[in-house]
Structure 1
Amino acid sequence: MKKILILAISSALLLTSCVSKKKYADLEAKQKNTQDLLNTATVKLNSCLTDKTAALTRVQSLEERLAELKRTNQDLIQSSKDLTILTKQGATNLEKSLESLKEKDLKISRLQDALNKKDSVTLALVTSLKKEVGLDDEDIQINVEKGVVFISLSDKVLFRSGSYNLSTRANEILGKVATVINSKPNFEALVEGHTDNVPYKKGVLLDNWDLSAKRATAVVRKLMELGANPSQLIAAGRSEFVPLVDNSTAENRSTNRRTKIYVLPKIDQFYEMIETELETLSTEGGQ
């Protein structure tokens, strides 16, 4: 057995020594080339593995993004549905608002028409009074106050000094006023007496309240005598408490002693409509 082993080794050594150097060099070159190819393949494999890992990470990120986009899309779809509902409701509300505005515009137009008619009546009344009573006397004034026509008469035009007895001239002036009142059966005449602040007490009269009221009733009675309808007449006393100027001088006190006759048109249909429409507008505006 030992002889056979030695023989085999010897044969091997003999065969090895028989391989030429050129062939060995070729084999060695091939082995090196193969090793280079293996190294290159290994590098590429590692690069591919890295790319694969990156690709898998990217795929996972894209899947998560896709899932997020799907959720966003669902939210948008739902929002679109909600917006459609809101848009329909908004259109309905807008239509209702427009209708409400149209109604209010109509009411405002009706109010304006009523006010214009009232202003026309007032202007006509002023013209009529100025024509009948005239403006030649500085103690007689015809004017409009807060939409109401009035005649202001100095006490010296109507009354004797310190008295509620009418003067002779009062018949002429009040006769003209009565003519205007008679021509306006749908009007009222409010006669308002005013005094200065000098205390007054004479006979049955206790103070300036009594004097102002007594002068007003004296004018009302005279208008009745001159043919004015008593149902159109109103008497009121204001005493000294609505002065035009301070009572510091005799001239000022004379200015404050006056009788005002307000001529009030009975245009109930206009006033009632104005009040009703204003109440309606106020109620709707508070809603």
Structure 2
Amino acid sequence: MRLKQSLIIAITLVFTTSCVSPKVYKDLESKYASLKQENRKLNKDNTSLLKEKTATLNELKQLKAAYDEAIAERDQLRSDFAATKSNLDNLKASYAALEKNSSAAITKNSQKNRELLAQLEAKEQALAAENERLQKLKQALEERSGRIAELENVIASKDAAMTQLKNAISRALTDFEGKGLTVEQRGGNVYVSMENKLLFQSGSWAVGTDGKTAVRSLGNVLAENPDIAVLIEGHTDNVPYSGNGVLTSNWDLSTKRATAIVNILRENTAINPENLTAAGRGQHAPVATNDTEEGKAKNRRIEVILTPKLDELSRLLNEQ
């Protein structure tokens, strides 16, 4: 937008001070069209990044739901196994009783003995079928338990890795404690929150010296953890943006601030740019009331959300 305004001013000055040749006018008009096309591309890229973020969060939700479903299925198999074993024990007891009665009845009634033998044969067949079913249930239960154990190990490993990451970040940013910076681990993710007083001047998206030092320290830790997705969210308070220039709203400001943090992280060439996502939330995700100055200060922040990639967990859930 700044380039567009500069171009319009330049055209206006040229028209007001001298005659403009058709060639110069066409050149200016071509530059304006190019800038306009670039602006549309940037807007399209931003929309794609937001969609990718939403898709990633939905995938994580689906994986967790599939894990819960696997636990329920494993528990049902255990219940079926116990019921089948009880039925087998009853069949064995019945078989023993029939066998005893058969031996006593042989001397009294051969017809009765044949009936008992037929019943015994039927019981043996039922017992064999139940044994086969029990064996299949046992095998299915063992397989399901093995998969559950694998899932639990993967989840535990991811949680442990995120705990180590959180501790590493806390150590790297210890000099900024009490300056509007917090590091927390919630729901399997690590959240690094930096209030604007550490990063930006009011209405600006240029990162100050202390802020750059903090972000670069964070980047050094992220460079050693390539399997982490990094979402940078910009947030503002609810006071409408009233400045002049290229900004149009709090949402615009929050997006530019998030992008400024991404640009500093990208200075570290060891960080994979594909792991980075910038998003602006404006005033729509406050963490405190906007009725006090203290609350507004907490809402004016950058949140860096670190999420483990779940490729291995997805593979286990998709296995037959």
TM-score, normalised with respect to structure 2 = 0.59
Counterpart residue number, 2:172: 132
CA, structure 1 residues 71+206, in 2 after alignment: closer, same or farther (shift >3 Å)?
farther
Tell me the distance in 2 between the aligned counterparts of 1:70 and 1:279. 60
Alpha-carbon offset, residue 246 of structure 1: 2.6
Counterpart residue number, 2:237: 196
Counterpart residue number, 2:159: 119
The answer as to 2:189 corresponding to 1:151 is: no
Structure 2 counterpart of 1:171, one-letter code = K
Aligned length: 209
Counterpart residue number, 2:9: none
1:90-140 deviations in whole A, cap 9, x for unaligned? Answer: 110000000011111111121122122212211221121111111632511
SS in 2 for 1:212: helix
Residue in structure 1 matching 2:254, options 198, 209, 212: 212
Alpha-carbon offset, residue 188 of structure 1: 3.4
Alignment of structure 1 residues 117-266 onto 2, 5 Å: 117-134=157-174, 136-202=177-243, 203-225=245-267, 227=269, 229=271, 230-266=273-309
SS in 1 for 2:266: helix
For the 8 Å contact 1:119–1:147, the answer to whether it is kept is yes
Tell me the distance in 1 between the aligned counterparts of 2:209 and 2:240. 26
1:124-176 deviations in whole A, cap 9, x for unaligned? Answer: 21121111111632511011121111210001111101222222221211121
Structure 2 counterpart of 1:130, one-letter code = S
For the 8 Å contact 1:126–1:142, the answer to whether it is kept is yes
Counterpart residue number, 1:102: 142
The answer as to 2:317 corresponding to 1:272 is: no
For the 8 Å contact 1:212–1:239, the answer to whether it is kept is yes
Tell me the distance in 1 between the aligned counterparts of 2:172 and 2:133. 58
For the 8 Å contact 1:188–1:263, the answer to whether it is kept is yes
Which has the greater radius of gyration?
Answer: 1
Alignment of structure 1 residues 77-88 onto 2, 5 Å: 77-88=117-128
Tell me the distance in 2 between the aligned counterparts of 1:112 and 1:72. 58
Tell me the distance in 2 between the aligned counterparts of 1:228 and 1:206. 34
Structure 2 counterpart of 1:222, one-letter code = I
Residues 124-133 or 95-104, more deviating: 124-133
1:164-197 deviations in whole A, cap 9, x for unaligned? Answer: 2222221211121121122233333221111122
SS in 1 for 2:185: strand
CA, structure 1 residues 76+181, in 2 after alignment: closer, same or farther (shift >3 Å)?
same
SS in 2 for 1:259: strand
Pairwise CA RMSD of aligned residues? 2.5
Q: What is the percentage of aligned positions where both structures have the same residue?
A: 32
SS in 1 for 2:306: strand
Tell me the distance in 2 between the aligned counterparts of 1:256 and 1:228. 31
TM-score, normalised with respect to structure 1 = 0.65
Residue in structure 2 matching 1:90, options 130, 134, 153: 130
